[in-house]
Amino acid sequence: MNIKPLFDKVVIKQDEVKEATASGIILTGSAKEKPSVATVVAVGEGGLVDGKEVVMKVKPGDKILYSKYAGSEFKIDGEEFTIIRQSDILAIVQ
Protein backbone atom coordinates (compact mmCIF):
# COMPACT_ATOMS: atom_id res chain seq x y z
CA MET A 1 0.00 0.00 0.00
CA ASN A 2 1.38 3.35 -1.03
CA ILE A 3 -0.75 6.44 -0.41
CA LYS A 4 0.44 10.01 -0.95
CA PRO A 5 -1.83 12.76 0.39
CA LEU A 6 -2.03 16.10 -1.41
CA PHE A 7 -1.38 19.62 -0.14
CA ASP A 8 -2.12 19.96 3.61
CA LYS A 9 -3.64 16.50 4.07
CA VAL A 10 -2.33 13.90 6.55
CA VAL A 11 -3.06 10.16 6.51
CA ILE A 12 -3.42 8.74 10.02
CA LYS A 13 -4.10 5.33 11.55
CA GLN A 14 -6.07 5.36 14.79
CA ASP A 15 -4.51 3.72 17.80
CA GLU A 16 -6.21 0.62 19.18
CA VAL A 17 -9.43 1.12 21.12
CA LYS A 18 -9.55 -0.22 24.67
CA GLU A 19 -11.71 -3.33 24.99
CA ALA A 20 -12.47 -2.72 28.70
CA THR A 21 -12.78 0.18 31.10
CA ALA A 22 -10.30 0.78 33.92
CA SER A 23 -12.66 -1.04 36.29
CA GLY A 24 -12.77 -4.11 34.02
CA ILE A 25 -16.13 -3.69 32.31
CA ILE A 26 -15.96 -5.12 28.76
CA LEU A 27 -17.19 -2.66 26.12
CA THR A 28 -19.33 -3.66 23.15
CA GLY A 29 -18.56 -2.33 19.67
CA SER A 30 -21.10 0.51 19.89
CA ALA A 31 -19.96 1.58 23.38
CA LYS A 32 -16.34 2.09 22.40
CA GLU A 33 -15.40 5.70 21.99
CA LYS A 34 -13.56 6.70 18.83
CA PRO A 35 -9.99 7.47 19.90
CA SER A 36 -8.53 10.91 19.29
CA VAL A 37 -4.95 9.61 19.30
CA ALA A 38 -3.42 8.35 16.07
CA THR A 39 -0.13 7.71 14.30
CA VAL A 40 0.78 9.68 11.19
CA VAL A 41 1.26 7.37 8.19
CA ALA A 42 1.86 9.86 5.35
CA VAL A 43 2.02 13.65 4.95
CA GLY A 44 1.28 15.93 1.99
CA GLU A 45 3.80 18.48 0.75
CA GLY A 46 1.98 21.57 2.01
CA GLY A 47 2.20 24.56 -0.30
CA LEU A 48 -0.37 27.17 -1.20
CA VAL A 49 -3.77 26.19 0.28
CA ASP A 50 -6.72 28.62 0.14
CA GLY A 51 -4.32 31.48 -0.63
CA LYS A 52 -2.06 30.79 2.38
CA GLU A 53 1.33 29.10 2.49
CA VAL A 54 1.12 25.89 4.57
CA VAL A 55 4.28 24.35 6.05
CA MET A 56 3.81 20.79 7.27
CA LYS A 57 4.69 20.38 10.96
CA VAL A 58 4.11 16.63 11.32
CA LYS A 59 5.99 13.68 9.85
CA PRO A 60 5.27 9.97 9.45
CA GLY A 61 5.56 8.14 12.77
CA ASP A 62 4.41 11.09 14.92
CA LYS A 63 1.69 10.38 17.51
CA ILE A 64 -0.97 13.07 17.38
CA LEU A 65 -4.17 14.24 19.05
CA TYR A 66 -6.80 15.36 16.55
CA SER A 67 -10.34 16.72 16.48
CA LYS A 68 -12.80 13.95 17.23
CA TYR A 69 -15.01 14.28 14.15
CA ALA A 70 -12.35 15.42 11.67
CA GLY A 71 -11.49 13.84 8.36
CA SER A 72 -12.73 11.08 6.11
CA GLU A 73 -12.32 7.38 6.87
CA PHE A 74 -11.12 4.92 4.23
CA LYS A 75 -10.37 1.23 4.05
CA ILE A 76 -7.31 0.38 1.94
CA ASP A 77 -6.03 -3.20 1.62
CA GLY A 78 -8.22 -4.18 4.59
CA GLU A 79 -6.77 -1.49 6.91
CA GLU A 80 -8.68 1.56 8.13
CA PHE A 81 -7.16 5.01 7.68
CA THR A 82 -8.38 8.57 8.14
CA ILE A 83 -7.34 11.53 6.02
CA ILE A 84 -7.44 14.88 7.83
CA ARG A 85 -6.16 18.39 7.24
CA GLN A 86 -3.12 19.44 9.24
CA SER A 87 -5.27 22.18 10.84
CA ASP A 88 -7.39 19.42 12.48
CA ILE A 89 -4.34 18.21 14.44
CA LEU A 90 -4.44 19.59 17.96
CA ALA A 91 -1.05 18.42 19.27
CA ILE A 92 1.92 16.12 18.76
CA VAL A 93 2.29 13.63 21.62
CA GLN A 94 5.88 13.19 22.77
Domain span at residue 54 reads 9-18+28-93
Amino acid at site 65: L
Q: How many domains does the chain have?
A: 1
pTM value surpassing 0.85: no
Secondary structure class of 10 (helix, strand, coil):
strand
pLDDT tens sequence across 16-69:
765 655 666 765 555 455 668 999 999 999 988 888 899 999 999 999 999 888
How far apart CA 1 and CA 60 sit, in angstroms, is 15
29: phi then psi, degrees, rounded to nearest 5: -55, -40
In a domain, 3, yes or no: no
What CATH number did the domain enclosing 82 receive?
2.30.33.40
In a domain, 59, yes or no: yes
Cβ-based neighbour number of residue 3 at 10 Å: 12
